Amino acid sequence: MDALDQFMAHRRLAREYARAELTPEQQDLQRAAREFASAEFPGVITADPATEKTFPHALLAAYAELGMTAVDVAEEYGGAGYGLTEKALCIIEDCRADSTIGLAFSLVSIISDVLAIVGDEEQKKRWLPLIVEGRCFPAISLTEPDHGSDLTRFNTRAEIDGEKFVLDGVKVFTTYGLEADYFIVAAQTDASAPDYEGFSTILVERDRPGVGVASLGDKLGIKMTTSAEVVFCGVRVPRHNLVGELHRGIETLNRFFAKSRVKIAAQALGVALGAFEAAFTYATRERRQTGRFIGEYRAVAEMLDFGREAIARMWKLLLRAARNYDAGGPFDPTFLAALAKLECSNLAERVVRLCLQIFGGYGYMREGNPADVERRLRDVVITTIYEGTNQIMEAIIRGHLRQNPHDRHLIHW
């Protein structure tokens, strides 16, 4: 099989896996997301480093008008009423077209899931339509200077004073902290409670007295999103700003993570898919060495084979986790979400790294980089860190399998 035949075979396989087991409606949604992203995302980020850090508000407005910000938001709040599976398809296409824009847009959806999942009717009616229209940035403040992956208890306190909460504390690595209209804050509401049982999640509007926000500065990737330190100093909020149940914040976060981690897996798959397609085309149609396409050499062919197999595995894990969530089982959604995030982010990082290697010196350059593979590598790293580091995902998986050894087959599925 010559290089052209290999390329065409790959294209057929890509189409088959992209549409495998999807309903006609899901395929239409996937196609719409792909057409918008492929038409509108290229060229937004240029060789000028400043464009990587400039959020495209006009593009978000167009994205929202198409309904893409609200694919999995209920129709009564302005959304399309689809499930996690459909939203994951859109995230894949967005990150496939451009890793930085795709991650930035999908994070708006991910953060807003807290209210969509456990918010009360008043909270949903106030905030979700604004997010659907692209006119509101949500933020979730969990991480503290001394508490990263530890969700047992928090230094941030929320004292109950009549019909008010009074918040004091510091949060770091709050995504969209500089732009946020509100923060979902994890705060200790019962200092005497056992671990995991004494904190709550509380909605704090940005404009309340005592809320202070400062940038944490530049970072390796996802530069289009800001990361902020948020300080709460005697911030008074009404008791009805409680999101979920009092002292049961761990249940709120577990329900949130069961969905958000699948979206992170979709981010990783999309970033890797975009890099792989560019590298495959480069190796089999463009780059020759000693008269042969470099994809015909064993070393490069093995890298392409790994990428193809890794993407197929990511797709299967992601689809199973998303559909399991939408169906409410039969498997524990927290376990499958952790598995999907762990495997997809780890594999995606390896795939993008190999794609950079295929491009060689050109892949390492920041300017004139084919398919922005250097930026994709910087962006994909975060998927192994946020929403719980992959080491935490491993701990969750091990804990689940100790209690449910019969689920071990899902790891090798």
Q: How far is CA 59 from the centre of its chain?
A: 19
Q: Rounded CA gap, 100 and 271, in Å?
A: 9
- What is the length of the chain? 413
Annotation says 387 is catalytic: yes
Given 25, 179, 387, 394, which residue is catalytic?
387
- Distance of alpha carbon 223 from the chain centroid: 14
CA pair distance 222, 99, nearest whole angstrom: 8
49: CB partners within 8 A, 6+ apart? 366
The rounded distance, in Å, linking the Cα atoms of 173 and 177 is 8
CA distances to 142, 202, 224 from 103, rounded to whole Å, are: 19, 25, 9
Show Cβ contacts of residue 23 under 8 Å, excluding neighbours closer than 6 positions.
none
For 12, phi then psi, to 5°, come to -65, -45
Q: C-alpha angle with apex 134: 245 to 215, nearest 5 degrees? A: 75
Token look-up 């944490």 returns: 216
User: What is the C-alpha separation between 164 and 166, in angstroms, rounded?
Assistant: 6
d(CA 91, CA 107): 10
- How far apart (Å, rounded) are the C-alpha atoms in residues 208 and 238? 11
CA separation, residue 365 to residues 155, 353, 356 (Å): 43, 14, 10
Q: Which helix or strand (DSSP H or E) is residue 149 part of? A: none
Q: Tell me: cis bond preceding 333? Omega within 30 of 0 counts.
A: no
**Would you say 256 and 114 are in contact if contact means Cβ atoms under 8 Å apart?**
yes
Pair 15, 8: CB distance under 8 Å: no
Confirm if 227 and 183 have CB atoms less than 8 A apart: no
| Residues that are catalytic | 387
